[in-house]
Amino acid sequence: MSSRQTQVAVDLGERSYSIAIRSDFDFSHCAEYLVDRQILLVSNAEVLAHYGSEVVASLASCSGKQVHQLALPGGESQKNLATIELIYRALLELGFDRQCVLVALGGGIVGDMTGFAAATYQRGVAFIQIPTTLLAQVDSSVGGKTGVNHPLGKNMIGAFYQPKAVHINLLTLKTLPEREIRAGLAEILKYGLLGDAVFFDWLEHRAQAMLTIDLDTMGYAIAHSCQMKAAVVQADEREAGQRALLNLGHTFGHAVETFTDYRSWLHGEAVGLGLLMAAQLSFELGHIEQTALARIRKVLVAYGLPTKAPQGMTEQDFLQNMARDKKVLDGNIRFVLLNPIGNAALFARVDSAVLSRAIASVLSPVKGD
């Protein structure tokens, strides 16, 4: 598989689209959605400073019209309805009609909000994803989940709405801070843990190449991750069953993000800790061996991901925040757990004492102890 120019198909009938994995911003592969269209490029100031002029020029060459830009405030704390209103206002002030196209240039926050705005503006307009973070490239840009946070829960307001195309430029990874790379790697590790033991073994031996952004290694990992997600989305677009397995580590991770008010932990960092907690709970329930748990912990450490909860976070904090998770059904917290590495399943009604042990394994010691 070539890592420098790969196409991954997401087959959803009339909502089908392709994921282009390249090393450029040539949008000719999705020109049919751009020609003679009103285009709003939605991003943030930092990303626009890096790529804005190049992306605008390429979009304009496909469209033949002026490309308008909107810079949103950055950060997970800004992923809310007030920010969505900024997109609506821009579209209305520009007089954009139902044939317009929204283009999301940035990480998962920009992509989720742009997609939600596209899903709801005039009851639905086209949008294209150009993810510039590793996490967005392998996760949020694929599959059509869009939305915003509420103070009481992450991604509680949203819609399933598929993009017309996804364009991944591997070279954008070279401008990311190492912390952002590590956060994205958590989602890649997730794919191996939940559905491909051979891929997890491959990743286990390539931490250095991934952390230093070797493009061939990273390109293969991104393509394989996108293929895995595409297969799940094709089987269960609206998360009625199998797609819930993609939330491995997320129930615990979202609890961390809520506790920290989305400010001090990146999503991928929280998911990384969540993967360890899911592995610990899997061990406590007898689904994986101690050696597998130790192996998972070692890999997470090698990839620079956290193994302890935020200072001051308690078992009660975890339980309260997880009780508001979208995967709660009939009052029961449902967990995606390993059974074993490379295979995941959904479990409900986990014994409280067992869950307590899993949570305790990651709690930071109280200062003064």
Contacts of 51 (CB under 8 A, 6+ apart): 25, 105, 132, 172
CATH of domain 6-175: 3.40.50.1970
Residue 1, pLDDT score? 36
* Residues facing 305 on adjacent strands: none
Q: What angle do CA 29, 32, 37 make, to 5 degrees?
A: 125
Backbone φ, ψ for residue 198 (5° rounding): -65, -40
> Which H or E element spans position 106?
strand 101-106
Residue ranges covered by each domain of the chain:
6-175, 179-360
| pLDDT tens for each residue of the chain, 369 residues long | 344 579 999 999 999 999 999 999 999 999 999 999 999 999 999 999 999 999 999 999 999 999 999 999 988 889 999 999 999 999 999 999 999 999 999 999 999 999 999 999 999 999 999 999 999 999 999 999 999 998 888 889 999 999 999 999 999 999 999 999 999 999 999 999 999 999 999 999 999 999 999 999 999 999 999 999 999 999 999 988 889 999 999 999 999 999 998 889 999 999 999 999 999 999 999 999 999 999 999 999 999 999 999 999 999 999 999 988 766 766 688 899 999 999 999 998 899 999 999 999 999 876 655
The catalytic site residues sit at 123, 145, 187, 229, 239, 243, 247, 250, 254, 267
DSSP 52-67: IHHHHHHHHHHHSSPE
Q: Could you tell me where the DSSP H helices lie in 260-333?
A: 267-284, 290-302, 315-322
- The CATH number of 179-360, from 1.10.10.10, 1.10.3210.10, 3.60.9.10, 1.20.1090.10, is 1.20.1090.10
What pTM did the predictor assign? 0.92
Residue 35 to residues 54, 63, 161, Cα–Cα distance (Å):
18, 4, 22
Residue 75, pLDDT score? 86
Backbone φ, ψ for residue 284 (5° rounding): -60, -30
Q: Could you tell me where the DSSP H helices lie in 285-340?
A: 290-302, 315-322
